[in-house]
Structures are given as C-alpha cells and as structure tokens.
Amino acid sequence: MVSQLRSQLKETRIYLQERYFMWKLRYLLGPDFGKEEFLEGTCQATAAMLEAVRRVDWRSIRNFCTEEFAPAMYSIARRESVYANLMRLQADDVEVSLPVTFKRSKGHNGQSFVYVDLGIVGMRFVRVKPDELMEISGMPLTVPSHQQILLATYKITFRKELSGPDGSCPKDEAWLFNAFKLRDMSLMGFCPQSGECWFIRAVKPY
C-alpha cells in the first residue's frame, strides 16, 4: 500500500512538473507555442539527428546544431555512429521522458537564448526468438515466444534564440541542438503474451 502510494505521488509530481515547465515555456515564447507540436518536433529532430550520426553527415549535423556545438557533435558521430546504426530509429520510435526543464541565458554579445533539457527514450524491436525458459526476478517462467528490444536513452539540449544583440530580432528562430549524449543502450527481452520485460545485457555501458 505504501509503495503504491509513493508511486502515485511520484507520477503526480512528474505530471505537475511537466505542466509547470510547459506553462513557463508558453509564457516565455508566446501563445503560438504548443506542447504537442514541440514534443512531436523533438522526436522528429532526434530521429533526424540519429540518422545524421549514423551516416556521419557533417552537413546535416551542422544544420541541426548550434555553431558552437556542431564540431563536438561531429566528433560524437564519428565515435558513436555504430550505436546509431544499431538503432535506426524513426520518429515514432522516439519518446520524450518528462519532465522537461529549461533556463534562459544571455550570450556574450547581448543575445538572449532559451535552453531546454530533455530526456529521450528510443526503442527498436530487433528479432523474435523461439520458445525457451527464462528466469525473471528469480522465478522460472516458460515464455511462449519473446522479442528482443534495443532500448537507448539520450540527454539532449535544444537552444532557441529569443533576441539578437541589444534586443534586436533574432536571426534564427529555429530550435537547434546544443547538447546530445547517448547515456546508455541495453538489450531487453519482452514477452507480448505475459507483458514481462527483462534485462539481457548492456550494449553501451552506463
């Protein structure tokens, strides 16, 4: 009973945090800002970035990133393209793990920016395996059939220019990546019949 109550309180806190941060973003960016459009665009942008990382495509990376972060992102792509190649995610395979947090900051030349930090989860089914005996939580379980899932978590930061030098109109109003990190990637097992999910092995260490 206590654990269930704690879980409900945690879910409520996350929901309220999400509502609060999204309200603050809308207050900052104006009535044209929409939560659903922003989150959907985030998933599409993340999938596009992962494809650019997979191909180590400097031109796309430069277009998706801030000028300051683009060289670092290209280095990340050269180092981690193998992981992006494993995932090959589409926008529908990506979800934003809430809450979203953000901060407002001034640039060295008087420009004003907003930075939004998000957690991203990507999931891809890889193959179906035949019947076998699995052990879950110390209890033997006969699994009729199960699938393997690649699960990856990312930490990203978007930046949007609010105003140019001395309060002038921004040169670019697009959301651009200012940070992008693959935190971990794991191979998971999933049984559609029972709904059980279990850890198999880490693909990229924590």
Tens of pLDDT, residues 181-197 = 998 899 888 887 777 88
pLDDT score at 130: 45
Tens-place pLDDT, residues 97-145: 766 788 888 877 778 899 999 999 999 887 654 444 444 444 554 444 6
Taking the chain, what is the end-to-end CA distance rounded to the nearest angstrom?
Answer: 32
Q: Is residue 162 predicted with pLDDT exceeding 80?
A: yes
Q: Is residue 157 predicted with pLDDT exceeding 90?
A: yes
The count of other CB atoms within 10 Å of the CB of residue 21 is 18
Sequence-ordered list of residues with C-beta below 8 angstroms from that of 114, at least 6 positions apart, any chain? 25, 28, 29, 102, 103, 104, 105, 159, 160, 162
Q: In 3-state terms, what secondary structure has residue 32?
A: coil
The one-character DSSP state at 65 is: B
Average model confidence (pLDDT) across the chain: 81
> Measuring CA to CA, how many Å separate 40 from each of 44, 92, 125, 176, 200?
6, 9, 21, 15, 30
CA dihedral 70, 74, 76, 80 (to 10 degrees): 140
Cα separation, 13 vs 31, in Å, equals 25
